[in-house]
Amino acid sequence: VFSAANVPQAPEDPLFGLMRAYRQDPFAKKVDLGIGAYRDDHAKPWILPVVRKADEILRSDPELNHEYLPIAGLPQYTGAAQKLILGADSPAIHDGRVATFQTISGTGAVHLGALFLAKFHPLRPAPTVYLSDPTWANHNQIFTNVGLQIAKYPYFSAQTKGLDIDGLLSTLLAAPAGSIIVLHACAHNPTGVDPTHDQWKQIATVIRERGHFPFFDCAYQGFASGDLARDAWAIRYFVSQGFETCVAQSFAKNFGLYGERAGAFHWISAPDAAATSQVTTGNIASQLAILQRSEISNPPAYGSRIASIVLNDPQLFAEWEEDLRTMSGRIAEMRLGLRQRLEARILADSSNIINGSQANWAHITSQIGMFSFTGLSESQVKVLREKWHIYMTKNGRISMAGINSHNIDYVAEAIDSVIR
Ligand code: PMP
C-alpha cells in the first residue's frame, strides 16, 4: 500500500536553488550568471517592445474572452510556428506532412514528443534516447519520466572547448540502429557550441546510415545569431534530406515570454507518396490530440496570442527581428568585452598563471547563444560565489545575459583572480 512516509525528500532543482541563493544574498555588487533569461544592460528583465505592442493590440480587441483554445492550440499560432521553424516555403508544410501542437513552452514540447515516442514506437523496449554530454539537465528527467532509457553521446571537448565531433560521430555509429538522437538545433545549452554546417551534414549521414531518429530541441531560434533562418538551418537541412523527425520549439527566449509557456511540438513525416504521408501525419496528429487532452486538455492562451499577433503581421514581424538583434547583439558585445578584459589582464600580468589552459578565452566569443561554458572548475565556481557573490552553475556555465556594462569589469576581475 502507498504510504506517504515512504516518499523520500528529493533534492532541490539545482538551477532554481541557485536563483534562490542569489535572491537572498544582500551583497550590493552580486551578479547572477545562472539565470537562463535575458537581462538588459541594467540586469532587468526586458519586455520586447514588439511584445508590448502586441499586448496592447490584444487588450483592445473587444472580442477577447477567456474561452478554451482547441486541443491542438490556436490555429493561427501553430500555422505561423510551423512556417517559422521550417521556412515559409517548406515543401513539408506544402505537402501536408507536418502535425503541430501548441505546448507548454519548450519543456512541454519535449515532453509531448517523448511521451508520443514512448507510447507509439513500434520497438519494445523502445529505443534508447541519446542525449549530448552535457545537455540541458531537464532532458534527463523528461525522457526517463516517460519510461525511456537514456544514454549519452560525447559533445564537448574540454581540451578544445569546442565540439568533440569524432566522439559524437563514433558513438552515434556504434549506437543500436534506430536509436532516438536528441539534437539542440542551435545555441547548445549548456556549452554554447554548435556544429558547423559540414559537421551537421556528417551527423545527418550517420543518423541516416544507422536508421536513427533525430529529435530536435529548438529553444533559441533567432536569439542565438539574431537571424531566424540561420538558427533553423540544421532542422531545415534534415527536413530537406527527407528525414522523419520532430521538433520541440520554445518561444520563451526569443519572445521573452518565459512564464507564459508558449511553445509548439512539430512532427514531420517522411516524404513518401504525398497521399501516404498525409494519412500518416493525420494519424499521428489524432494520437497527439489524445495525449494532449489527457495531459493538459488544451494549452494556455495568452502567450500564443501575443506570438501569433507578431508572427502574422509583416510589420510587427520586422520589429520582432529588430528586437532579436538587440538581444543577440548585446550578448555578442558582452562576449567580446569579457574575452578582451580577461586576455588583457593575463597579458598585463602573466607571472602567476596557475592553469595554462585558462589563459585562452577565445571560446567565449566562438560559443553562441545565452550561455558560455567557461571551463572554470567547480572549486573556482565556489570561490566566485563565496568571495565575489557571483552565481553560476557548478559546471562553470555562465549566462552571458547576466553580464552588462556595469558589472563586466567586476566579473572579469573576479574570474581572473580565481584562475591564478
Ligand atoms: N530545451 C533547452 C535546451 C533549453 O535550454 C530550454 C530552456 N532552458 C528549454 C528546452 C525549454 O524551456 P521552456 O520550457 O521555458 O521553453
C-beta of 252 in contact with ligand 1 (< 6 A) = yes
C-beta of 38 in contact with ligand 1 (< 6 A) = no
For the chain, the straight-line distance linking the first and the last C-alpha, in angstroms and rounded, comes to 57
Q: Which parts of the chain sit beneath pLDDT 70?
A: 352-356
Phi, psi of 179 (to 5 degrees): -70, 160
C-beta of 284 in contact with ligand 1 (< 6 A) = no
- How does 332-353 read in b/e, with b if 16+ C-beta sit within 10 Å? bbbbebbbebbbebbeeeeeee
Name the catalytic one among 30, 194, 253, 416. Answer: 253
Q: Give the chain's largest Cα–Cα span.
A: 70
CA neighbor of 245 nearest in space, from 274, 277, 276, 268: 268
Please give the C-alpha separations between residue 328 and each of 7, 24, 83, in angstroms, as whole numbers.
44, 29, 22
How far, rounded to the nearest angstrom, does the alpha carbon of residue 323 sit from its chain's CA centroid?
A: 18
C-beta of 341 in contact with ligand 1 (< 6 A) = no
C-beta of 136 in contact with ligand 1 (< 6 A) = yes
* Closest atom, ligand 1, to C-alpha of 218: 1
C-beta of 219 in contact with ligand 1 (< 6 A) = yes
C-beta of 245 in contact with ligand 1 (< 6 A) = no
Query: Would you say the C-alpha torsion 50, 52, 55, 59 has a positive or negative sign?
Result: negative
Asked if 358 contacts 335 with a C-beta cutoff of 8 angstroms, the reply is: no
Give the pLDDT confidence of 170-208 residue by residue, as tens digits. Answer: 999 999 999 999 999 999 999 999 999 999 999 999 999
pLDDT, position 272 = 83
Name the catalytic one among 46, 136, 200, 320. Answer: 136
ipTM over 0.90: yes
How far, in Å, CA of 86 to CA of 84, rounded?
A: 6
Query: Would you say the C-alpha torsion 412, 416, 418, 419 has a positive or negative sign?
Result: positive
Residue among 133, 217, 254, 260 whose CB has most ligand 1 atoms within 8 A, to mutate: 217
* Closest atom, ligand 1, to C-alpha of 251: 16
* Closest atom, ligand 1, to C-alpha of 107: 14
Which residue minimizes the CA distance to atom 1 of ligand 1? 219
Which residue minimizes the CA distance to atom 10 of ligand 1? 106
pLDDT, position 355 = 65
How far, in Å, CA of 162 to CA of 155, rounded?
A: 8
C-alpha 15 to ligand 1 mean position (Å): 13
Name the catalytic one among 32, 194, 217, 231. Answer: 217
If you ran DSSP here, which 8-state letter would residue 297 be given? Answer: S
> Which cell numbers in the block locate residue 322?
529588430
Identity of the amino acid at 53? K
- How does 144-165 read in b/e, with b if 16+ C-beta sit within 10 Å? eebebebeebbbbbeeebbbbb
Which residue minimizes the CA distance to atom 12 of ligand 1? 106
pLDDT, position 56 = 98
* Closest atom, ligand 1, to C-alpha of 106: 16
Instruction: Examine the residue annotation and report whether 83 is marked as an active-site residue of this protein.
Output: no
Q: Angle of helix 49-59 relative to helix 314-348, nearest 10 degrees?
A: 150
C-alpha 420 to ligand 1 mean position (Å): 34
How far, rounded to the nearest angstrom, does the alpha carbon of residue 62 sit from its chain's CA centroid?
A: 36
C-alpha 250 to ligand 1 mean position (Å): 7
Task: Please list, in sequence order, all residues whose beta carbon lies within 8 angstroms of the beta carbon of residue 347, skipping any fewer than 6 positions away.
Answer: none
Please provide the DSSP assignment of 28-40 as one string.
Answer: TT-EE----S-B-
Task: Please list, in sequence order, all residues whose beta carbon lies within 8 angstroms of the beta carbon of residue 291, skipping any fewer than 6 positions away.
Answer: 112, 115, 116, 119
How far, in Å, CA of 377 to CA of 373, rounded?
A: 11
Instruction: Examine the residue annotation and report whether 267 is marked as an active-site residue of this protein.
Output: no
C-beta of 132 in contact with ligand 1 (< 6 A) = no
pLDDT, position 353 = 66
How far, rounded to the nearest angstrom, does the alpha carbon of residue 182 sit from its chain's CA centroid?
A: 12
Strands (E), 260-377: 262-268, 371-373
* Closest atom, ligand 1, to C-alpha of 263: 16
Give the pLDDT confidence of 45-104 residue by residue, as tens digits. Answer: 999 999 999 999 999 999 999 999 999 999 999 999 999 999 999 999 999 999 999 999
| C-alpha torsion angle, residues 268, 271, 274, 275 (rounded to 10) | -70
Instruction: Examine the residue annotation and report whether 217 is marked as an active-site residue of this protein.
Output: yes
C-beta of 191 in contact with ligand 1 (< 6 A) = no
C-beta of 104 in contact with ligand 1 (< 6 A) = no
How far, in Å, CA of 378 to CA of 295, rounded?
A: 38
Which residue minimizes the CA distance to atom 16 of ligand 1? 106
C-alpha 16 to ligand 1 mean position (Å): 14
Phi, psi of 64 (to 5 degrees): -60, 135
* Closest atom, ligand 1, to C-alpha of 36: 8
Q: What is the pTM of this model?
A: 0.96
Which residues on neighbouring strands pair with residue 371, listed in sequence order?
399
Which residues on neighbouring strands pair with residue 102, listed in sequence order?
264
